[in-house]
Amino acid sequence: MKTKLIVLAFILMAFTTDDVLKQFDITTQQVTENIFGAISSDYLQFDKVLVGKARNMPVSVRVSCTRLLVKFIKEYTQSDAFAESYKKYRKEHMVSKSHGFHLPRPSDLINKAADRLLNGNSSSNTLPVDPAELVRNRLKEFLEELATVDFDAKLTGKTFSDPVYESKDQKWKMYYRAGKPVIEAAQDEVRKWLQEVGN
C-alpha cells in the first residue's frame, strides 16, 4: 500500500498543465477564453462533458488538477496577452472619446454612469483600469462564495433536501458537487496567490 502511495505521489508531481489539458481534450486557447470570460464578466460556462470527465477522476487527481489550474490562471492573468485582451474588452464596454473643453468631459460622466449600471452597486462587475485589481477582486469574491458552501448539505436524488440550498445558483451547486477536498485545494492556492500580491 505504501509503495502504491509513493508511486502515485511521483505521478502527481510529474503531472503538468499540458497533461491536464490532454486529459480533458481541451486546448490552451479554449481554457484562456473561458478564464477571460469568467474574470471579465464573472460568468462561468459549464461544459457537461468536461464536468463528467472531472467527476470520473480519483479525488487525488482532481485535487492536483485544481492546484495546477489555479497556477495556470495565475500565469495567464499576469501575462501581456491577458492585459491586452482586458484593455480591449474594457474599451468596448466604456465610452472613451476625447473632448476639447476644460470642463468635465461628457464621456467621463457617461463612464461613471456606465460603471454604476455595470456594477449594479456590486464589485463583481466593476471594470477597473488595472487588470490586476480586477483579478484580485475576483479572487476575493471566489473565496467569499466558497465560504458559503455547506458540504454537509443533503441531496435527494439530484435535488437538495433543503429548499434554501436548492435555490442557490448554478455556481454554488458546482462548488458543492466539486467536493470538499477539491474546493479546499482551490482555497489554499488562491490564498497563497493573494498573499503574494499583498492582499
β-partners of residue 156 are: 159
User: Is the pLDDT reported for residue 33 higher than 50?
Assistant: yes
User: Is the pLDDT reported for residue 59 higher than 60?
Assistant: yes
Q: Residue 27 — pLDDT band, cuts 50, 70, 90?
A: confident
Cα separation, 191 vs 194, whole angstroms: 5
pTM of the model: 0.72
Q: Give the Å distances, CA to CA, from 105 to 96, 119, 128.
A: 10, 21, 19
The pLDDT tens digits of the residues spanning 41-57 come to: 766 665 667 777 777 78
CB 32 within 8 A of CB 81: yes
Cα separation, 182 vs 60, whole angstroms: 9
User: Is the pLDDT reported for residue 9 higher than 50?
Assistant: no
Environment class of 9 (CB within 10 Å of its CB; exposed 0-12, middle 13-18, buried 19+):
exposed
CB 59 within 8 A of CB 181: yes
- Per-domain boundaries in the chain: 2-196
The pLDDT tens digits of the residues spanning 153-173 come to: 999 998 999 999 999 998 899
Q: Residue 1 — pLDDT band, cuts 50, 70, 90?
A: very low
The pLDDT tens digits of the residues spanning 84-137 come to: 999 999 888 775 444 444 555 555 555 555 554 444 444 445 788 899 999 999
**DSSP states along 135-151:** HHHHHHHHHHHHTT--T
- Helices then strands (H, E): number in the chain? 11, 2
